[in-house]
Amino acid sequence: MRLTPLSRACGQTLARDLPPTGPNRIPLLRTGTVITPRFQRALEDHGILALWVDDGHSEGIEPVELLPEPVRAETAAKVATALDEARAAIGDSQTLAYDVLADLRDVVDLIAANITDSPDAALFLGDLAGADQYTHRHSVNVTALGLLLGRAYWRTEGWVDYRGERRWDRIDERLAKLGMGLLLHDIGKMVVPSEVLNKPGKLSAEEWALMQSHPDAGVALLDSATVSPLVRSVVRDHHERYDGSGYPRGIAGDHIGEFPRLAAVADVYDAITSQRPYAPAAPAHVGVKVIAEGEGRAFDPAVVGVFRRIVMPYPVGTEVRLPDGRIGVVAAADQDRPHEPLVRVDGSDVRVELGDAAAV
């Protein structure tokens, strides 16, 4: 199968159910549906701009998803329910209730248990759900990618305890806390009006100040007696940048904790490669480029190093344009040479060096 732009999908057969929308969670279209111009228009209205399709040309090419779509949909729905309850209850208690946190802990476990640890690391992460589902699916995607990054990071670098000793044990405990922080990272957006959150154009100074208040607003919702400081650090500092250019505190380097340094990379990558209410999804290679360019500036170089081994710019199943103009489909990615995947073109697989603008 391959990922094709909606504009070229007419007459093609859908290879995967389209993510469900609405409260009844019925897939928008099922696998095997042939895309007609009418479907094309309807999908465009839903903000869906690319589809997985099957054709003889890409037979045997099976993309690996970081998290299977049914798990993504199920966990995003659970997050939505938990946060709706939290919003209703927040008036009296001022912090998230214990049972809401317990529900979210179960969601983290579900995500952690379903992450694909692909040996060829050719993960497809982009989210093709419509922009209307962005918020909760974004939390789930960031959790999945952040956990994958955290696991690879701590397995190679270890972690430093309060005595300054480097250790390689209890990584699962850290991952559980990291996952909780990632799932809750934007919880403070509850206080930002949706007109500001979804505004397509530039924000006014007042709106921007409101937007920048979401990390602190989020921490205020988490009771310090019951929520770990490591979880709270992700919520408070995920917009801090390695060079000090972030917000709300403008701290830099190691003053930003390890947890939020991991979260920042996962958050930015997913935001770029998912469809948002105000911006279309960019292909994986654009997201990888932004993270790579931010190495040492926006992002911790050690985290970027781990990210580059895990997230491929041209994941399996991506349509690409070859230097000679022909269109091919990525058949296999190579961790050591991420910009030179194996591409199926005219029935044979060839290794091609792809530039930055190669994705179709």
- The residues binding Fe ion (CB under 5 A) are 186
Minimal CA–CA distance to 326: which of 125, 122, 124, 57?
57
Size (the chain), residues: 360
Minimal CA–CA distance to 265: which of 229, 217, 301, 314?
301
**Residue number with CB closer to Fe ion (148 or 263):** 263
In the complex, minimum distance from the CB of residue 185 to Fe ion, in angstroms, rounded to a whole number: 6
Interatomic CA distance for residues 172 and 168, integer angstroms: 10
**Residue number with CB closer to Fe ion (130 or 218):** 218
In the complex, minimum distance from the CB of residue 235 to Fe ion, in angstroms, rounded to a whole number: 9
β-bridge partners, 342: 332, 351
- CB 315 within 8 Å of CB 343: no
β-bridge partners, 274: 127
**By three-state DSSP, how is residue 320 classified?**
strand
Residue bearing tokens 């480097």: 166
**Residue number with CB closer to Fe ion (240 or 319):** 240
- CB 72 within 8 Å of CB 140: yes
**Residue number with CB closer to Fe ion (227 or 354):** 227
Cα Rg, the chain, nearest whole Å: 20
In the complex, minimum distance from the CB of residue 213 to Fe ion, in angstroms, rounded to a whole number: 11
**Residue number with CB closer to Fe ion (196 or 342):** 196
Interatomic CA distance for residues 316 and 310, integer angstroms: 13
Residue bearing tokens 């405990």: 173
In the complex, minimum distance from the CB of residue 276 to Fe ion, in angstroms, rounded to a whole number: 13
In the complex, minimum distance from the CB of residue 116 to Fe ion, in angstroms, rounded to a whole number: 26
Interatomic CA distance for residues 66 and 81, integer angstroms: 23
**By three-state DSSP, how is residue 61 classified?**
coil
- In the bound state, the residue with its beta carbon closest to Fe ion is 186
Token pair belonging to 51: 């589809």
Amino acid sitting at position 176 = A
Number of neighbours of residue 235 by Cβ within 10 angstroms: 28
β-bridge partners, 51: 4
**Residue number with CB closer to Fe ion (74 or 186):** 186
In the complex, minimum distance from the CB of residue 211 to Fe ion, in angstroms, rounded to a whole number: 9
In the complex, minimum distance from the CB of residue 231 to Fe ion, in angstroms, rounded to a whole number: 15
In the complex, minimum distance from the CB of residue 320 to Fe ion, in angstroms, rounded to a whole number: 32
**Residue number with CB closer to Fe ion (19 or 188):** 188
In the complex, minimum distance from the CB of residue 218 to Fe ion, in angstroms, rounded to a whole number: 8
- CB 214 within 8 Å of CB 189: yes
**Residue number with CB closer to Fe ion (219 or 352):** 219
**Residue number with CB closer to Fe ion (17 or 186):** 186
